[in-house]
Chain A
């Protein structure tokens, strides 16, 4: 994977830039020693690493504004970072960048149950947002699987989803307002506790913009009252095709589960070996969860089971208790850990129309066989968001490259059947060069123009999201020495 050459002029000016940063930030908020900045050399896409020029850890919107204003004046690129859990390399530094971490921005600013919102600083972790309101019976709905560690800033940057977004939507559907700092230090307030924008929906553009447009320091988030209860049903099938048809029938029947999770044979067996959840030995497993009162749950599970029975399931297990629910979820929640025990893996994030599920799963199996690698599929079936785990051996020379090439083939397949490259992880550097497969030159140009408006000098997280060739002239113009 290619990254642009660092600007030698910036590298040469490192001492002066660090001194400026130390002037405007409190002691301890600037890190510049090579052995210390190494802690920030990568995010969760660990195959790629590069220590930044310096790291700053501001603790207020004013400090973020001061940093950006300084870097803007000095022409220094800035890479924002939440908790560093990006699987797409969204927070991968370059050698000539200042890495801006929001970890110290972790306060709850306002909680309002009457108006159902919470306002937080964006370095706060996803789970601790719910933690701040759950004693009062509320929760924040988006629940990415990294929710223990991932920051709201990163959730907004990647428009994160989670297992329950079939009912509750993704980040953009639960984000009411932000405080955004532009690259020149300007502080902009968008949205708030009221609904919908007065003019253009800039909030909607910010969400999912991968740190391309500004740094979000505060966020107003929708909170909801927790449902009375939730229970899943586990359904096993002989083939992925039948499981896919069952998902489609559940949706068509007017049922709206909060989650429909899918696992294929290899993941079922790996999870069972690892977590001992009592999963049946089948080729496809659905976990369908519904919410409500006990009687509402019983009725919905009965309707789902009726539909499932029409597809001759090998196993049908309705949870009757919290303990049974926990056991059904245990294997699924251990999936990534279980696969990690067997092999190194790349986790993909493509999305397909639900109707294409059987075909795409068959093609993934064929492609994987052609590359001589292994694959396990674990995903959110209700919305077609696939997470194939491509298994490889990091110690075998050439294996990573093979897995990456297979991943690119699978994502191209997703696009060909009418889907997209990424449903919740973001483009980052990982899928940057596949963007031109999904979008034509005019489509990309329109997106580049939005960045031109927010960040005319192309200093914020450059060399991400867009194919390098597409953004090159803009980045080069930005890097040209000021006359």
Chain B
């Protein structure tokens, strides 16, 4: 397997066009940290040569950055201006056991959105423009660098979360938000999952602008911990922490934890690292979170998004999707043995009309089928284990 390392967008487009002509499959690689299923490819196309921030305007809350840029570089540049990517992207190294450096392109390609998703939106919501190379080697622009844009069809959203199967993103524009002056969490100890879920949905239905609502059944001290995050000016956080505690008092006594606290652990499912089993990430409606948790029995879980996001560490042979009967939503397998990916598939099966539209899009954007071949197929396939 050869590694192709273009130094700019034009070279990358040439490489894709050449691969299309020869029908050689390309595994698109950012930092090599995220692999939900693996592409059955002849060559690796690395984005490592396409790096750097091309535009940063703090006064306009706008950043444009090349796709191969390490995320840490972006985070540092934004922090220097007191700004951030509000969707709080998760770092898969916490549970994946993989080395490598997360990149902006990889993050966008999987629409990586963390705890603040419920208040500030997903990665896809912060993406305001994109340049990408389609499967024929054409460079395509969509969106731009402004906050509001309804000019034509929104292909930016389509590229977010498409795992490099519709095009290779080369440059992405993001909408930013300021970092808060104060971060604090109102926490409750010792709740069971069902009660914790009710506490979280109660908190989300207040006007106190909760930016994270998570429950760790096996918290850092081994005991259950329910956390509700507040961010803003100190006086504002103090006011809201007090009000929120009052609203939640019938769930149990609350205490205030300062700063980032255990949120990185929630964001990255860090507790699953180095442990046996398959890691799943399941999106459901918040009140279905505890229902699913009950069906998963003794599995190790993290509930984020007020119960709407369940991270599960389960035996490799568990048919997790079969337990979702009557529960809407979707489950993605993020870590597992090759045979586990082969058996369950990384991505949730789609209903026929949706699968038809998705296949149609893929055929139009990558007619030779060379971009991450086999990846994002919704049925288990040979490709998933290659």
Q: Which of A's residues lie within 8 Å of B, judged by CB?
A: 112-117, 137-138, 158-159, 161, 165, 169-170, 172-173, 182, 186-190, 192-205, 207-209, 212, 225-228, 248-249, 251-256, 292-293, 295-296, 299-300, 351-355, 380, 382-385, 418-427, 431, 435, 438-440, 442-447, 449-454, 465-466
Q: Are B178 and A202 in contact (CB under 8 A)?
A: no
Residues of B within 8 A of A256 (CB): 177-178
Q: Are A383 and B353 in contact (CB under 8 A)?
A: no
Q: Are A192 and B58 in contact (CB under 8 A)?
A: no
Q: Are A443 and B140 in contact (CB under 8 A)?
A: yes
- C-alpha spacing A117/B207, complex, angstroms: 15
Q: Are A419 and B125 in contact (CB under 8 A)?
A: no
Q: Are A299 and B236 in contact (CB under 8 A)?
A: yes
A244 CB to closest chain B CB (Å) equals: 10
Is B239 on the interface with A (CB-CB < 8 A)? Answer: yes
- C-alpha spacing A189/B166, complex, angstroms: 22
- Beyond A189-B354, A208-B154, 20 additional pairs, beta carbon < 8 A: A114-B205, A114-B286, A194-B329, A196-B111, A196-B283, A198-B330, A201-B160, A205-B153, A205-B154, A205-B158, A208-B150, A293-B239, A300-B233, A351-B146, A384-B60, A420-B144, A422-B149, A427-B151, A439-B152, A453-B357
Q: A115-B201, A296-B235, A418-B146 are in contact. Are A446 and B365 (CB under 8 A)?
A: yes
A295 interface neighbour in B138, B239, B353, Cβ under 8 Å:
B239
- C-alpha spacing A446/B332, complex, angstroms: 28
A55 CB to closest chain B CB (Å) equals: 26
Residues of A within 8 A of B347 (CB): 198-199
A-B contacts, 9 of them at CB < 8 A, read A117-B285, A169-B125, A197-B161, A201-B160, A204-B124, A252-B58, A300-B233, A424-B148, A466-B152
B142 interface neighbour in A173, A227, A446, Cβ under 8 Å:
A446
B364 interface neighbour in A195, A254, A443, A450, Cβ under 8 Å:
A450
Is B368 on the interface with A (CB-CB < 8 A)? Answer: no
A408 CB to closest chain B CB (Å) equals: 14
Residue of A nearest to B125 (CB): A173
Q: Are B151 and A453 in contact (CB under 8 A)?
A: no
Q: Which of B82, B124, B152, B305 has the most CB of A within 10 A?
A: B152
Q: A204-B157, A420-B144, A420-B146 are in contact. Are A116 and B361 (CB under 8 A)?
A: no
Q: Which 6 A-B pairs have the closest CB atoms?
A: A204-B157, A198-B330, A254-B178, A423-B148, A248-B59, A453-B360
Is B62 on the interface with A (CB-CB < 8 A)? Answer: yes
Q: A172-B125, A426-B150 are in contact. Are A200 and B158 (CB under 8 A)?
A: yes
Residues of B within 8 A of A199 (CB): 347-348, 350, 354-355, 358, 376, 378
- C-alpha spacing A2/B268, complex, angstroms: 54
B296 CB to closest chain A CB (Å) equals: 17
Q: A193-B328, A423-B150 are in contact. Are A172 and B62 (CB under 8 A)?
A: no
Q: A190-B354, A353-B57 are in contact. Are A420 and B287 (CB under 8 A)?
A: no
Residues of B within 8 A of A354 (CB): 57, 59-60
Residues of A within 8 A of B288 (CB): 194
A154 CB to closest chain B CB (Å) equals: 12
Number of interface residues of B (CB under 8 A): 85
Residue of B nearest to A113 (CB): B205
Q: Are B124 and A201 in contact (CB under 8 A)?
A: yes
Residue of A nearest to B355 (CB): A199
Q: Which of B's residues lie within 8 Å of A, judged by CB?
A: 57-62, 81-82, 111, 113, 117-118, 121-122, 124-125, 134, 138-142, 144-158, 160-162, 166, 177-181, 201, 204-207, 232-233, 235-236, 239, 243, 283-288, 305, 308-309, 328-330, 332, 347-348, 350-351, 353-355, 357-358, 360-361, 364-365, 376, 378
Q: Are A254 and B283 in contact (CB under 8 A)?
A: no
- C-alpha spacing A165/B148, complex, angstroms: 9
Q: Are A450 and B155 in contact (CB under 8 A)?
A: yes
- C-alpha spacing A419/B151, complex, angstroms: 10
Q: Which of B57, B58, B243, B365 has the most CB of A within 10 A?
A: B57
Q: Are A170 and B59 in contact (CB under 8 A)?
A: no
A110 CB to closest chain B CB (Å) equals: 11
A321 CB to closest chain B CB (Å) equals: 20
Q: Are A296 and B151 in contact (CB under 8 A)?
A: no
Q: A194-B330, A208-B154, A421-B151 are in contact. Are A114 and B179 (CB under 8 A)?
A: no
- C-alpha spacing A431/B308, complex, angstroms: 40
Residue of B nearest to A202 (CB): B357
Residue of A nearest to B359 (CB): A453
- C-alpha spacing A198/B161, complex, angstroms: 9
Q: Which of A187, A203, A252 has the most CB of B within 10 A?
A: A252
Residues of B within 8 A of A423 (CB): 146-150
Residues of B within 8 A of A208 (CB): 150, 153-154
B59 interface neighbour in A115, A249, A465, Cβ under 8 Å:
A249
Q: Are A198 and B348 in contact (CB under 8 A)?
A: yes
Residues of B within 8 A of A442 (CB): 138-140
A248 interface neighbour in B60, B138, B205, Cβ under 8 Å:
B60
B137 CB to closest chain A CB (Å) equals: 10
Q: A201-B111, A353-B57, A422-B151 are in contact. Are A452 and B124 (CB under 8 A)?
A: no
B235 CB to closest chain A CB (Å) equals: 6
